[in-house]
Chains A and B, each alone.
Chain A
C-alpha cells in the first residue's frame, strides 16, 4: 500500500482526455512539488512533469500536471495509442524522510 495513492488503471479512446490522480497528505504532496513519469513496456521510466506542472524539453504539450492541496493530477489530452504505459507520481515525504513513488497507474488506450 503506497503512501501516494494512484488508481491502478485508467483508460480512454484515441483523442480523449484522461486524468490520473495522485493522492497524498500534508507531509508529502501538501508541502512539496510532484514529478510524473511514464514507463513504456520494457523500458526505463521517462520524466514527463516536474515541479508539479513543468514539462521538460521534448515532452509534448498534451501532457500537463497540476497540484491542489494534498493531491496532484496528470492530464493527457489528445490520447494516442503510444501513450499506453504505466504512469507514476513522485514527491518528497518529510515524515518518512524519503522520496516516494505512487503505486503506478496502467493506462490503456482502447
Chain B
C-alpha cells in the first residue's frame, strides 16, 4: 500500500527555522516526483514545488522560489520542506503528494498534512 506519512503539527515563532518531513512507503520512492502543496487557512491549494528523489532535481513554483527549500534523502525515503526564517504568513497546512507518471499535474497519493502555525 502506497503511503506518505508526514511529520506532526508545529507551533513556531516568527524568525524560527523549521523542517517538516514526508516519508514514503509501499512503492519505489526514488522513481516518483514528490510535490509540496500549501493550503492557507480557509483558502485554496497552491503548488509549491517538486523534487525527484533519485537525483534531487528540484523545481520551485515562482511564488515560492527563495522562500522555502525542498530536499530529499533517498536512503530513508523521505522528502523535506524547510524554512530558514518563518513568518506569520507561513501559517498553513502543508501537504506532500506523489506525482503520477501519467500526468504532470496528477497527485495520486497524499500525505495527511502538516499544520504549521507561526505566532508570536
Chain A residues in the interface with B (C-beta under 8 A): 2, 32-35, 37, 39, 44-47, 50-51, 54, 56, 86, 88, 90-92, 96-104
Contacts and interface: CB of A to CB of B under 8 A. Distances in A.
B107 to A, nearest CB: 6
Given A45-B110, A88-B44, A33 B62 contact: no
B119 interface: no
A33 B45 contact: no
Interface of B: 35, 37, 44-47, 61-63, 95, 97, 100, 102-108, 110-113
Given A2-B44, A44-B95, A44-B111, A98 B105 contact: no
A51 B102 contact: yes
A104 B47 contact: no
Given A44-B112, A45-B95, A96-B62, A51 B45 contact: no
B62 A35 contact: no
Contacts of A45: 37, 45, 95, 97, 107, 110
A32 B46 CA distance: 18
Contacts of B95: 44-45
B44 A103 contact: yes
A92 B61 CA distance: 11
Given A44-B113, A101-B44, A102-B44, A32 B108 contact: no
Given A50-B103, A101-B47, 19 more contacts: A2-B44, A37-B45, A37-B107, A44-B95, A44-B97, A44-B110, A45-B37, A45-B95, A45-B107, A47-B100, A51-B106, A56-B100, A88-B45, A90-B45, A90-B47, A92-B104, A98-B47, A99-B105, A101-B44
A47 B107 contact: yes
A99 B64 CA distance: 12
Contacts of B104: 32-33, 92, 99
Contacts of A100: 47
A88 B97 CA distance: 15
A97 B62 contact: yes
Contacts of B108: 47, 50, 56
Given A35-B106, A44-B95, A98 B62 contact: yes
